[in-house]
Structure formats: structure tokens, C-alpha cells
Structure 1
Amino acid sequence: MGATPRQIARTFNCSQTTISKLIIHYQQTGQNQDRPRSGRPRVTTPADDRYIRQIHLRNRCVTATSTVATALGHAISRRTVLRRLRAADIRAYRPFHGMALTRLHCQRRLQWARTVRRWQRRDWARVLFTDENRFCLFRNDGRVRGFRRRGKRLAPNFIREVRPF
């Protein structure tokens, strides 16, 4: 387009040397694709990666080990499955345990929130807050984990309903 390497570098906020090398490479080869490099080839194809992602988004509590055993026709490792899921921003989390709230529950909670909205510090001092966190020293704590994206904690398919009675 007639622009100088300096103008292009300023536009893309990169080094002028990088732009000059790209221009030379394009003039020599006619393309800007990377040359083949050494290294281990990928075990999965992009289609396999999409399939792994779909399995874990459809059934949130499928483990990476069971995906290895059943998902693809060839052998892959559990770590490979976890890396592909992490690349798709899907990680293993504990499901949210809670009760399914009806419309009446939501209305009553909103009403309570509106009543305590103007509470002062002395009002909150009369409330007892308990901390019931559980700490695990070893990896296997017996909890079931599910795969989800960050910020989707309260998605309907990730909530495990708890019925107290």
C-alpha cells in the first residue's frame, strides 16, 4: 500500500526490524506463514479439541480420565485433555450445592435484603457469621468436580440441588 516499514511498525506497535523481516520473508517465499519447526507434533487435531470441549460442556461431571478412555479413537493422556480444556477456558471446579429457589423464595430474599439495606454497624454486630471451610491436605478429598468456564458458577446445569428433608 506504499507505507514505509516505520509507519507499519507504528500502526501495529511493534519493532521496525520485525516488519522489515516480514517484508523480506514475503518477497522471498511469497507467503507469511511460519516455516515448519522442530518439536513434538500435536496428538489431537482441532476437531478433536472441539469434541473434547463439547463432551465436558454437555456433561459437566465427566472426568478427564474417562474422556481419555472413551472420547477419541487413539490414545491421549489425561494431561492433554486438561490442557485442551484450559485452552478453552474450562477448568475443574466443585459444583455449587444449593436449593432450587422458587419465585416465592426469590421474592422473600429480596424483601429481606431491602429491610437490612440500611442497617448500621451496630445492627450487624448482633449477627453471628460462621466460617465452615474445609481444608484438604491431600489431592483426593472425595468431592466431585465439574468442568465449567470462569464466571458460570450459578449456571443451571452446574448446580447440584440439595434437598434438606
Structure 2
Amino acid sequence: MIEGGRLQAEVAHHFNVSQSVISRLRHRYNETGAVAERPRSGRPRSITPAEDRFLTISARREPFSTCRMLWERLINAADINISIETVRRRLGEVHLASRRPLRRVPLTPEHKRQRLQWGTEHVHWQEKWNAVLFSR
């Protein structure tokens, strides 16, 4: 588009990016003849994007699974060697966190109603219950 005579600002508006992005891409194209990203420094990622998606989908399907459970599932499915910390980092990148399973039975609305009724009936037990705090 730029070679066709359009301004950088027009191209940026067309692709909904800032003008500096178009400027950097044009500069890179003039230097290297391509706009593809250059190799980056640092260690390569240990799992592929497909394995990242597998982790994300597994975590969303079973929201109370732990990192260890997700790690074991990924190890069995992909036959790779990664750490549990890698699983935690990958979940953090997509704003997910593993959760611990509940250690108690959740209260139903009926349970809550019965507990509140019992508390309101016994709120005036001054002799035996001085050290107990009742709240709603």
C-alpha cells in the first residue's frame, strides 16, 4: 500500500494499528527485504502452541484441577518433559490459575436458611454462648 502511494497514517488506520508499527515494518522491509520477525534471544519455549491450548482447554473444562493434575495429563498426552512451574506460567499467561479441590460439601440454600434460623433462635443464649459470635 505504501509503495502504491498511500501514507503511513492511512495504512495504519486501515489495519487499525499505530503509525509507528507501519514505520518499523517499512524500515525492516527496506533493511532485510522481509517483514518477518527476526530470531529472538533467549531460551526457546519448551511446549508448542498446541500443547498450550491443550493445557488451557483442560484447565477450563475442569476448573478445580491442580497444576500437578494438569501436568500429569500433559505429560501423558504429549510425552514431553516439563516442570510444573512451566504449567503454572502457561496458565498465568492466559489468566488462569489452578485451584485446589473443595475439602467440604458446599452448603445448599436450604442449609443456609436452616443455619440462619438456628442462629436467630439462639442469639439470646447469654450464659453458654458468651464467647460465640453470631453473624449473617
Same fold (TM over 0.5): yes
TM-score by structure 2 length? 0.57
> Pairwise mapping of residues 1-80 of structure 1 onto structure 2 (< 5 A)?
1=1, 2-5=5-8, 7-8=10-11, 12-15=17-20, 19-72=22-75, 73-80=79-86
> Cα distance, 1:23 vs. partner?
0.9
Q: Give the number of equivalent residue pairs.
A: 104
In structure 1, stretches of 5+ residues that fail to align are 110-127, 132-165
Structure 1 length as normaliser, TM-score? 0.48
Following TM superposition, where does structure 1 have runs of at least 4 consecutive aligned residues deviating by more than 3 angstroms? Answer: 5-15, 18-21, 27-30, 92-98
Preserved CA contact (<8 Å) 2:8 2:22: yes
1:87-106 to 2 correspondences below 5 Å: 87-93=93-99, 97-99=106-108
Between structure 1 and structure 2, the one with the greater Rg is 2
**CA contact 1:68–1:75 (8 Å) conserved in 2:** no
Name whichever structure is richer in helix by fraction. 2
Higher share in strand: 1
Partner of 2:135: 130
**RMSD value over aligned CA atoms?**
3.3
Which ranges of structure 2 fall in alignment gaps of 5 or more residues?
Answer: 114-132
Give aligned-pair identity as a percent.
Answer: 35
